[in-house]
Amino acid sequence: RRLPWQPIVTRPDCSNGGNRSSSSSNTSKSSVTITAMFTAFVIAEGLTILLGTVLGLVQGCFGGFAKLAPCGMMSVKMSKGFNQVYGPFLGFPGTFLRIIIGLGETSAGICIILGVWGDALDIFDEELRNLVRALCIVAGSALMVVGFVAGMMHYYVDGTPCSPPAVLGCIASIFTLARIFAVEPRTADSQRLATCLTSLVMVMAIVAMIVNHFFGQHESLVREANAELNAL
């Protein structure tokens, strides 16, 4: 309440200026967030291109073809290894296991190389891009399972805790997680496809573990054949 002898004091209206300041601050925060998200996406995509190229060349073009090739020293070593060591240890016929893993590694490696580079170079349309991103996740999951199972086998048979297959399994897991959380497919159908096929890969891995438990041989029974294989 103003007394009669007190002067009238007017206060400036700062509501518009305050609104403009708040709006400018929100816009600045939004642009920083968008820039950070874009930077994270670019880094993640670059990382998956690098890791995917390594996986495709090593496991797809080299490891997979070596298991399928009918001739050559590496093919002879692969054939003997699967027939006398890897197959009996895991509880599967050696030739069957070698062909299945070879086909899987080759197809997954080629899919990853074509997928990550095609996506990065923007040569796919939107629908095909989402399909390729989903299949890259599935292929990475399959190579991860193959790498970790092979690493476990080498740990028991050779006593090697950090074998090349185990390292490739770690690379495949980083690749797969980066594709899932940063370079993921955008449509619900492609996400469901990736989820269902990846779940199928995990079910097959569980089946392989069950077969190994009931039909696989103890590592001591294949140790002599493994020593001869390492001597080649």
Is pLDDT of 157 > 50?
yes
Across 42-56, 69-83, 160-174, least confident range: 69-83
Say what the pTM is. Answer: 0.82
pLDDT confidence of residue 108: 95
pLDDT confidence of residue 20: 54
Q: Which residues contact 169 (CB under 8 A, 6 or more apart)?
A: 143, 144, 145, 146, 147, 148, 150, 151
Residues 132-154: what's their mean pLDDT?
Answer: 94
Is pLDDT of 18 > 80?
no
DSSP annotation string for 110-166: HHHHHHHHHHHTT-S-HHHHHHHHHHHHHHHHHHHHHHHHHHHHHHHHH--SS-HHH
